[in-house]
Amino acid sequence: MDTHLNSQQLEAIQHKSGPLLIIAGAGTGKTTVIVERIKWLISKGHASPQEILGLTFTEKASLEMQTRLDEVMPLGYTRMWIMTFHGFCESLLRENALDIGLDPQFKVLTQIDSVALLKKHFFEFDLDYYRPLGNPHKFLNAITTFFSRLCDEDVSPLEFTKWAANQEDQKYQELAKLRLQFQKIKEEKGVLDFGDLISYTLHLLEKRPKILETYRQKFKYILVDEFQDTNFAQIKLIKLLLDAGQNITVVADDDQAIYQWRGAATGNVVAFQKSFPKIKLVTLNQNYRSTQTILDNAHQLISFNNPDRLEIAAGIDKKLISQDKKAGPAIEVLSAQTASAEAEIVAAKIIDLNISFKDIAILVRANNHAELFIKSLENLGVPAQFLGPGKLFLQPEIKDLLALLRLINDPNDNTACYRVLKMSYWQIPGTELTQILAGSPASTVLKSAQDSHDKTVVRFVNLYQHALENIHVKSPGETLYVFLEESGMLKDMLDYKLPISETQAKNISKFFNKIKQFETENPDTSLSGLLEWIDLSLELGESPAAVLDSDWSLNDAVNILTYHSAKGLEFPVVFMVNLVTGRFPSLNRKDPIEVPVELIKEISPAGDPHIQEERRLFYVGMTRAKNQLFF
């Protein structure tokens, strides 16, 4: 066992049996405690690796926990059940699909896939309000999000239909009928969305007691990370799986609950504690990250969320104590009149700090707020890297390929034609490019370009004509691949002769994989169908994530990332920017279709839920800083 563990951590790790609630503040070694607890349970013979279930919320967290366990466990141990909630539910359903009438080979839909499926059948439904004549697809994303939120609250289609029947507002009856019809379509096609994974698992365990008992006996100990991010349905699943021993360990910090928009509720931690009168509560408040100055100011801020915080509800002391023993410098406030001025001031301050750039992070409120800071830093010769989540379909190298596909799909697409011909690979002189593109439709441009004196232009047109022929006999992915191969671009990419980075090459590879996946799942698709799916992804903001440099932490560059993306990370110096009304706190943008209050089963806070969540997000930002913090 790690000899550097403190008494609080040891108390949590060596809890033998019964329910355990670990309140783990920022920087208190939460992951270490979870890993060491699993190791202790196995080494002391309380459970075998296969008898432990560890649930997380993200693939990243699951992978980190598995990696840490591999490092501390002896060789030869069987891989444990460490996975996300959705991954666990998918495994259970595939093993027992036939017991509830599911196809074991069911496909899991992403949000984009779900919206696309609804859109495909939208005019088969009897709709009025939710299919306006002027913009019939206006509510597509809102509807699927609403259905997902109902799953979070464990509100079945039948329960919602019964509730809607007693409402005066006809819109709810329209939604209830649509949900039943859409559920039937998904069943016929053998597909489930993420909300269905939880709902069907609950249905399986409630309707098949023998199967439930099998899993209760299988898992002697259950551990849940980031418990503050759970929703009602997930908590119900956890409670169902518990056997008589109630060996459940949950790790939570209600002050870092920043996902209320996806159904997470801070009241769940308080409710969970009340569900187990004999629960053992261990508070970790020894902080190994930040200075006491940062921690004191963070605690002062988050205390404005009282009395809805666990510190008040449970009567515990959550004030973090720095183990650094140094107070550290005061938080410095920088002010500016405009967003561009703010970026310039921050960039200048970074130069003045005279420290390694990789030790600095700038936290922005949204992805599109990063560009100003990147430009200001570049103007001063300071390297910067945006840590995402970047959108794959919005990366320049992918936009070039998309432009080529759009031009093949529509020879009259002037915008696509311009982007393709302007690609650095062709090296067409600016004057030649201007003459070629002089205001004519793209199809006419390409036809006249055959007579160009520039051999590169003629070569491109010939390749393009071949692509137009290929698209009638080959898939979109094959057509694009052949174009890149015949043009020589593919070879130059592989040989790194093109001005292309390893990350860009990986993005292109990932793009081809996404096309291949789409074509496999939609064998009769056309190029226009593929582009429609990509456009829908961009419209919903659900583009696959771009490849992040795996060694980003080694790059000597200023790190720029969103407040949400920063959770779980730490940096010596942190700049919290965009601290203006409308951005932080943000405007309270409610869901287009809100879940009725009567159907929400979580405990609602006494204060303003939106402002409280904004404070928690601010608290997360503050506690990313180790030594110095700037507002």
Domains and CATH numbers, the chain: 7-91+200-284 (3.40.50.300), 107-189 (no CATH), 393-540 (1.10.486.10)
- Tokens of residue 267, six digits: 């009241």
Interior/surface letters 338-360, b for 16+ CB within 10 angstroms, e for the rest: eeeebbbbbbeebeeeeeebbbb
8 Å CB contact between 361 and 624: yes
8 Å CB contact between 301 and 619: yes
Q: How far is CA 142 from CA 181, 191, 609, in A?
A: 17, 20, 21
pLDDT: is 620 or 541 the higher one?
A: 620
Using DSSP, state whether 630 is helix, strand or coil.
strand
What is the average per-residue pLDDT within 415-420?
Answer: 86
pLDDT score for 75: 62
Residue 251 main-chain phi, psi, to 5 deg = -115, 125
pLDDT single digits (tens) 9-35: 999 999 999 999 999 999 999 989 999
pLDDT single digits (tens) 119-138: 999 999 999 999 998 999 99
pLDDT single digits (tens) 81-106: 999 999 999 999 999 999 999 999 99
pLDDT score for 90: 96
pLDDT at 538 over 60: yes
pLDDT single digits (tens) 383-413: 998 886 667 888 888 999 999 999 999 988 8
Closest CA to 215 of 76, 92, 73: 92
Confidence tier at 77 by pLDDT (50, 70, 90): low
Cis amide linkage into residue 585, ω under 30° from 0: yes
Binding site annotation covers 30?
yes
pLDDT at 36 over 60: yes
Cis amide linkage into residue 389, ω under 30° from 0: yes
E-state strands within 207-295: 221-224, 248-252, 280-284, 286-287
Measure the CA–CA gap between 610 and 587, rounded to whole angstroms: 9
CA angle 539–138–142, rounded 5-degree value: 75
pLDDT single digits (tens) 192-226: 999 999 999 999 999 999 999 999 999 999 999 99
pLDDT score for 20: 96
Closest CA to 339 of 175, 584, 521, 538: 584
Confidence tier at 266 by pLDDT (50, 70, 90): low
Measure the CA–CA gap between 384 and 382, rounded to whole angstroms: 6
Closest CA to 269 of 309, 320, 306, 303: 309
Confidence tier at 263 by pLDDT (50, 70, 90): very low
Binding site annotation covers 338?
no
pLDDT score for 446: 66
DSSP secondary structure letter of residue 393: G
DSSP secondary structure letter of residue 281: E
Our measurement of the distance from residue 283's CA atom to the centroid of its chain's CA atoms, rounded to an integer in Å, reads 28
- Tokens of residue 379, six digits: 């103007």
Measure the CA–CA gap between 622 and 297, rounded to whole angstroms: 9
8 Å CB contact between 558 and 383: yes
Alpha helices by DSSP H, listed for 437-501, are 442-448, 455-470, 476-487, 489-494
Confidence tier at 438 by pLDDT (50, 70, 90): low
Binding site annotation covers 27?
yes
Binding site annotation covers 25?
yes
Q: Is 354 left (phi over 0), alpha (psi -120 to 50) or beta?
A: left
What is the average per-residue pLDDT within 325-353?
Answer: 94
Residue 561 main-chain phi, psi, to 5 deg = -155, 165
Amino acid present at 514: K
pLDDT at 260 over 80: no
Using DSSP, state whether 386 is helix, strand or coil.
strand
Measure the CA–CA gap between 242 and 80, rounded to whole angstroms: 18
Binding site annotation covers 529?
no
pLDDT score for 448: 62
The size of the chain, in residues, is 631
pLDDT score for 161: 96
Measure the CA–CA gap between 214 and 581, rounded to whole angstroms: 53
pLDDT score for 441: 64
Closest CA to 237 of 277, 271, 267, 203: 203
Cα dihedral across residues 495, 496, 502, 506: positive or negative: negative
Binding site annotation covers 76?
no
- 548 CB neighbour count, 10 Å cutoff: 15
pLDDT score for 199: 96
Confidence tier at 281 by pLDDT (50, 70, 90): very high
On average, the pLDDT of the chain sits at 88
CA angle 72–73–78, rounded 5-degree value: 145
Binding site annotation covers 606?
no
Measure the CA–CA gap between 165 and 66, rounded to whole angstroms: 47
pLDDT single digits (tens) 544-559: 777 665 577 888 999 9
pLDDT score for 461: 84
Binding site annotation covers 54?
no
Measure the CA–CA gap between 251 and 258, rounded to whole angstroms: 15
- Rounded to the nearest 10 degrees, how much is the dihedral formed by the CA atoms of 428, 429, 435, 437? 40
Confidence tier at 442 by pLDDT (50, 70, 90): low
What is the average per-residue pLDDT within 228-257?
Answer: 92
CA angle 543–183–172, rounded 5-degree value: 95
Q: What percent of the chain has pLDDT over 90?
A: 60
Element (H, E) at 403: helix 396-409
Amino acid present at 118: L
pLDDT score for 269: 82
Give one DSSP letter per residue of 128-193, joined into a string: STTS-SS-TTTTHHHHHHHHHHHHHTT--HHHHHHHHTT-S-HHHHHHHHHHHHHHHHHHHHTEEE
